[in-house]
């Protein structure tokens, strides 16, 4: 008898297996021989390499011998942000197809396995084409199981706003709600902030009304303050007051910012009685305004030309026993003098002088000009004498006003004598200019900026000296530019002298210069940690680390400290990537050279003190100058 036939065994294969003529290639999953499969014979096609995302390069898609395409501004911007490789692939798919949505773009995007919401947000952050952004935003929704998150919605809002499609951005809360993601206060805050920065007050109120009445989202105190401030700045005080009514209805408690926003808006609108009422509530519930708040109110009233309201604010400031500072006095005196109420301004001037305040030359100039217009030449010359006795020098504008006033009163001889005084002081009135024009201080200020930019520091210093010879003060921009140029060539002592000169001549000097003096003072402790603390505070205040501050470290440590402590400071800055390695090397060379210079100066001073410099000169020592 023939042997019995054994039944076929069923074989199960896991994962990859070798292809054969009768079995197709299987990659992953479970496969068995219990089902007969008909092999599929594909048509012969040109063999192409599979797409590998990790080998993708966005800048070279042409032939090896062809020149690379010039990157567009958007591609440069995206590269600068260091996007992820997949995001750069999507951006480049847009670029290759002319930033137009179509089947070629979809084909490129279909090479990706899945696009996540965070990836959508990353792409939209650098996208400037609103149509393309809209198509891409809705294309990703077709993925199975895809849902936008708050990050992608926010990025889409920013993209629309950049393209000035802010009306479309305002409709995103409805889109979010329809997709099951009700917008939170954060989404509305983004839209409100966009409209605030662009000065669109009515749009701010539109988003606020939608936020509160349609979606039932109540803003915080901070957002309420921002909304009211935007409405006040754009001249919609009535809407700001209605928002304040909602603020009270929500049971929120006012902050000092809330009161000051309303007070400024009422001052600007000339509603003094209402402003005083709000000021009283602020005084009862919270606190009284400080001198800075009152000075701001005075400035607003003077800018609007409402001097009566300004004086009422001044009386409220005295009622609260808030002592006005120099800025407050100068603002109200200049405003009164400008509208012809010079006698009231003069009374405040005498009050200011009696309190021992340092009176600015601008205050003298505004009062003198107003006295001349009112034909009160006696008071004008009294102010001129007081100006000179206070240590000031009259500028060209003051002399011009006085000469013009004397000429209007037919006092030509006195006008000519005053003209001779201006010539003796090196000043020249404007009316002598026809064809022999000479550069003024503004011309030299511009020349300093140009010369430093070209690296001609010596010539820029000569322009600075010309300005000083004209009894003028260089501009803050000229001071900053020239100090930076001197620091870059290692002239540290001259740069620090320029820093002190600037802070002594201008009313509101650069913050960088102020911190330079602080750094030099801290260097007396010879402690690198304390210097680093000052630098951290400076950068937290928004003042970047520059060459002038680094030169101040060198100057202070060479004068009061040691090279080792200075190197610790620069090493710390290098570790925190605030200085490049090349800059650290340059500053170290400046440090050594400056310390040698200071040491040589000390040696020379000692030799001069003991009277030994003549002997060293006779021996040909190069330490002493000829």
Q: 558: which 2 tokens?
A: 């060479």
Taking each continuous run of H as one helix and of E as one strand, the counts in the chain are 32, 2
- Nearest 5°: CA angle at 408, between 406 and 413? 40
Q: Mean pLDDT over residues 186-213, rounded?
A: 91
Task: Report the C-alpha gap between 568 and 528 in whole angstroms.
Answer: 6
**Residue 13 DSSP label:** E
**Range in 130-139, 330-339, 404-413 with the lowest mean pLDDT:** 404-413
- 18: confidence class by pLDDT, cuts 50, 70, 90: low
Q: How far apart are CA 228 and CA 231, in angstroms?
A: 5
Amino acid 41: pLDDT:
52
Asked if residue 231 has pLDDT above 90, the reply is yes
Task: Please report the pLDDT score of residue 108 as a whole number.
Answer: 85
95 and 75 Cβ atoms separated by less than 8 Å: yes
Q: Which residues contact 190 (CB under 8 A, 6 or more apart)?
A: 154, 157, 158
In this predicted structure, what is the pLDDT of residue 615?
60
pLDDT, mean over the chain: 80
Are 531 and 522 in contact by the 8 Å Cβ rule? The answer is: yes
How many C-beta neighbours within 10 Å does residue 88 have? 22
What pLDDT does residue 206 have? 93
- Given a cut of 50, is residue 31 above it in pLDDT? no
Q: Is the pLDDT of residue 80 over 70?
A: no
Provide the token pair at 464. Answer: 């600075």
Q: What is the pLDDT of residues 475-489, one digit of tens each?
A: 888 999 999 999 989
For the chain, which residues make up each domain, given as ranges? 492-498+505-615
Q: What is the pLDDT of residue 3?
A: 56
pTM, 2 dp? 0.50
DSSP bridge pairs for 13: 31
Q: How far apart are CA 625 and CA 88, in angstroms?
A: 63
CB 451 within 8 A of CB 459: yes
Res 226: pLDDT? 93
| Cα torsion angle, 397, 402, 407, 412, sign | negative
**What pLDDT, on the 0 to 100 scale, is given for residue 239?**
92
Cα 396 from Cα 177, distance rounded (Å): 66
Strand partners, 12: 32
> CB under 8 Å to 175, separation ≥6 — which residues?
153
Burial class (CB in 10 A: 0-12, 13-18, 19+), 622: exposed
pLDDT of residue 431: 46
Calculate mean pLDDT across residues 401-424.
82
Please say if the pLDDT value at position 126 is more than 90: no
pLDDT of residue 609: 64
How far apart CA 272 and CA 282 sit, in angstroms, is 15
Rounded Cα distance, 372 and 474, in Å: 28
Tell whether the model's pLDDT for residue 44 goes beyond 70. no
Taking the C-alpha atoms of residue 166 and residue 428, their distance in angstroms, rounded to an integer, is 55
Count of Cβ atoms closer than 10 Å to residue 321 Cβ: 7
- Computed on alpha carbons and rounded to an integer, the radius of gyration of the chain in Å comes to 37
What gap in Å lies between CA 551 and CA 558, rounded to an integer?
Answer: 10
List of residues 6+ apart from 374 with CB closer than 8 A:
340, 342
pLDDT of residue 313: 85
Q: How confident is the model at residue 618 (pLDDT cuts 50, 70, 90)?
A: low
SS3 sequence of 335-392: HHHHCCCHHHHHHHHHHHHHCCCCCCHHHHHHHHHHHHHCCCHHHHHHHHHHHHHCCC
The SS3 assignment for 545 reads: coil
DSSP 212: I
In this structure, the dihedral spanned by the alpha carbons of residues 459, 464, 470 and 476, taken in order and rounded to 10 degrees, is 140
pLDDT in tens, 142-168: 888 888 888 888 888 888 888 888 888
Question: What integer pLDDT is reported at residue 35 of this predicted model?
Answer: 47
What would the two tokens of residue 164 be?
């000035």
* pLDDT of res. 610: 61
**What is the rounded CA–CA span in Å between residue 36 and residue 22?**
10
What is the percentage of the chain residues whose pLDDT exceeds 70?
Answer: 82
Q: Which residues contact 431 (CB under 8 A, 6 or more apart)?
A: 400
Look-up of token digits 């009233």: 301
User: How do strand 12-14 and strand 30-32 relate by DSSP bridges?
Assistant: antiparallel
Non-local (6+) Cβ contacts of 600 within 8 A are 623
More confident residue, 129 or 62: 129
CA distance 324 to 80: 50
Nearest to 297 by CA among 269, 321, 319: 269
Average pLDDT over residues 95-111: 85
Q: 439-475, pLDDT tens digit by residue?
A: 778 888 888 888 888 888 999 999 999 999 888 888 8
Please give the Cα distance from 484 to 568 (Å, whole number). Answer: 23
- CB neighbours of 326 closer than 8 A, spacing ≥ 6? 352, 357, 358, 359, 360
The top-scoring range by mean pLDDT among 123-137, 512-526, 606-620 is 512-526
Q: How far apart are CA 618 and CA 428, in angstroms?
A: 51
Quote the CA–CA distance of 449 and 479 in Å, as a whole number.
9
Output DSSP code: residue 62. Answer: S
**DSSP letter for each residue of 376-437:** -HHHHHHHHHHHHHTT----HHHHHHHHHHHHHTT-HHHHHHHHHHHHHTT---GGG-SS--
* Backbone torsions φ then ψ of 13, nearest 5 degrees: -115, 140
Given a cut of 70, whether residue 367 has pLDDT beyond it is yes
Q: So what's the pLDDT on residue 269?
A: 85
Q: How many CB atoms lie within 10 A of CB 244?
A: 20
Q: Given pLDDT bands bounded at 50, 70 and 90, which one contains residue 98?
A: confident
Q: Rounded CA gap, 571 and 587, in Å? A: 11
Q: How far is CA 306 from the centre of its chain?
A: 32
């Amino acid at each position: 008898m023939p042997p019995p036939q054994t039944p076929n065994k069923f074989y199960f294969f896991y994962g990859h297996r070798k292809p054969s003529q009768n079995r197709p290639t299987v990659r992953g999953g479970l496969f068995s021989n219990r089902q007969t499969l008909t092999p599929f014979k594909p048509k012969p096609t040109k063999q192409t390499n599979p797409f590998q995302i990790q080998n993708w390069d966005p800048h070279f898609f042409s032939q090896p011998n062809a020149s690379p395409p010039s990157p567009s501004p958007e591609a440069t911007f995206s590269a600068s942000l260091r996007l992820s490789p997949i995001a750069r692939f999507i951006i480049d798919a847009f670029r290759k197809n002319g930033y137009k949505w179509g089947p070629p773009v979809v084909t490129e995007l279909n090479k990706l396995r899945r696009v996540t919401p965070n990836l959508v947000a990353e792409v939209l952050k650098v996208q400037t084409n609103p149509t393309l952004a809209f198509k891409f935003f809705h294309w990703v929704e077709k993925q199975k199981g895809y849902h936008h998150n708050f990050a992608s919605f926010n990025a889409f809002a920013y993209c629309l706003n950049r393209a000035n499609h802010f009306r479309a951005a305002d409709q995103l809360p409805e889109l979010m709600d329809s997709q099951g993601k009700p917008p939170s206060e954060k989404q509305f805050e983004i839209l409100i902030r966009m409209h605030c920065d662009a000065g669109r007050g009515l749009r701010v109120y539109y988003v606020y009304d939608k936020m509160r009445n349609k979606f039932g989202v109540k803003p915080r105190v901070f957002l309420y303050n921002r909304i009211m401030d935007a409405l006040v700045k754009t001249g919609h005080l009535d809407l700001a007051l209605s928002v304040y009514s909602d603020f009270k209805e929500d049971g929120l408690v006012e902050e000092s910012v809330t009161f000051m926003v309303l007070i400024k808006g009422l001052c600007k609108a000339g509603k003094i009685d209402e402003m005083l009422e709000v000021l009283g509530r602020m005084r009862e519930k919270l606190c009284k305004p400080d001198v800075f708040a009152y000075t701001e109110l005075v400035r607003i009233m003077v800018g609007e030309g409402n001097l009566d309201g300004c004086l009422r604010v001044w009386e409220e400031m005295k009622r609260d026993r808030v002592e006005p500072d120099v800025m407050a006095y100068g603002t109200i005196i200049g405003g009164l003098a400008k509208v012809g109420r010079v006698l009231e301004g003069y009374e405040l001037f005498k009050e200011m002088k009696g309190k021992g305040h340092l009176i600015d030359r601008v205050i003298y100039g505004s009062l003198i000009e107003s006295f001349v217009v009112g034909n009160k030449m006696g008071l004008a010359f009294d102010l001129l004498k007081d100006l000179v006795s206070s240590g000031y020098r009259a500028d060209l504008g003051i002399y011009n006003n006085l000469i013009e006033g004397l000429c209007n009163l037919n006092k030509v001889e006195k006008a000519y004598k005053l003209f001779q005084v201006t010539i003796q002081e090196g000043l020249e009135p404007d009316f002598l200019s026809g064809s022999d024009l000479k550069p003024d201080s503004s011309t030299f200020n511009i020349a300093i900026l140009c010369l430093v930019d070209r690296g001609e520091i010596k010539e820029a210093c000569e322009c600075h000296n010309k300005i000083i010879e004209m009894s003028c003060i260089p501009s803050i921009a000229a001071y900053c530019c020239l100090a930076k140029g001197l620091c870059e060539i290692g002239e540290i002592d001259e740069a620090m002298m320029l820093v002190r000169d600037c802070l002594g001549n201008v009313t509101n000097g650069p913050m960088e210069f102020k911190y330079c003096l602080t750094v030099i003072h801290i260097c007396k402790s010879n402690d690198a940690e304390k210097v680093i603390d000052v630098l951290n505070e400076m950068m937290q205040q928004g003042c970047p680390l520059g060459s002038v501050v680094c030169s101040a470290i060198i100057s202070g440590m060479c004068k009061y400290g040691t090279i080792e402590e200075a190197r610790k400071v620069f090493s710390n800055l290098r570790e925190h990537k605030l200085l490049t390695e090349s800059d650290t090397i340059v500053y170290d060379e400046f440090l050594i050279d400056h310390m040698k210079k200071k040491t040589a100066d000390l040696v020379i001073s000692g030799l001069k003190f003991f009277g030994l410099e003549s002997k060293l000169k006779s021996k040909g020592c190069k330490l002493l100058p000829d």
